[in-house]
Amino acid sequence: MALDDSEEIGDEALLALFAAGDARAAALLTRRFTPLVLAHAYRLLGDRAEAEDIAQEVMLKLWRVAPDWRQGEAKVTTWLYRVTANAATDRLRKRGPGAPLEDAPEPRDEAPGAEARLQQAARGDALNAALAELPGRQRQAVVLRHIDGLANPEIAEIMQLSVDAVESLTARGKRKLADLLTKRQEELGYETG
């Protein structure tokens, strides 16, 4: 199997190559999974530096588990989402109650001539701030469903819940998010819609 065709190689096969000592597999796995882990950690924590620490921590766990990985039992991405969420939950627990909405980043307005980009960034910031207000499990379910775009059965596997429970969590999370965004929009007086 040629590592040049990296897109063709399955996640588990790459992990097996890594466990066998293949340095190119390490590079490919790093490129393939670090963006996913970093983005998920960032959406759960809302803090770039902490998300980077989590990404390194989770990838280190992946390296260590590689020789014992049981092929065909779980998708590597499912495992990564779960371990990332657990690590983020630990961070949030240490951090204490979530940052209040007022402490969320202000809309960025220092880049003239890029109104559309600014508005998109403002929407992203507002959403991150609102996500921080959700209970942890609701936040995780909403992020996995509506931002990472996963299907409910896979979310259920990641969160080790029933599909019904996932649907309930995402529905409640979405309602609360809409309320929070409306409130923030009124407080700050900028467009989120």
Partner 1 sequence: MKPGDRNDMDSASGETALERAFEAARQDAPVPDAHLMRRIMADAEEVQAGFAPAAPVGAPARRVRLGALLMEAVGGFRGLGGLAAASAFGLWLGLSPPQGLSDYALAFYGETGLGAASALDADYAYLASLGEL
Shortest Å distance, C-beta 120 to partner 1: 5
Give the range of 6-14, 73-81, 164-172, 173-181 binding partner 1 by CB under 8 A. 173-181
Whole-angstrom distance, CA of residue 45 vs CA of residue 181? 18
Site string for partner 1, 20-39 (x = CB under 8 A): xx-x--xx-xxx--xx--xx
Report residue 162: phi and psi, to 5°. Answer: -80, 160
How many residues are recorded in the chain?
Answer: 193
Residue 58 C-beta-side C-alpha neighbours within 13 Å:
33
Site string for partner 1, 140-169 (x = CB under 8 A): ------xx-x--------------------
Whole-angstrom distance, CA of residue 132 vs CA of residue 157? 23
Question: Residue 10 is which amino acid?
Answer: G
Please give the residues from 57 up to 116 whose contact with partner 1 meets the rule CB under 8 A. Answer: 59-60, 63-64, 66-67
> By CB under 8 A, is residue 178 in contact with partner 1?
yes
> By CB under 8 A, is residue 3 in contact with partner 1?
no
In the bound state with partner 1, the residue whose beta carbon lies nearer, of 58 and 156, is 58
- CA 97 to chain CA centroid, Å, is 20
Whole-angstrom distance, CA of residue 7 vs CA of residue 152? 26
Report residue 81: phi and psi, to 5°. Answer: -60, -40
For partner 1, the binding residues (CB under 8 A) are 18-21, 23, 26-27, 29-31, 34-35, 38-39, 42-43, 48, 51-52, 55-56, 59-60, 63-64, 66-67, 120-121, 123-124, 126-128, 146-147, 149, 174, 177-179, 181-182, 185-186, 189-193
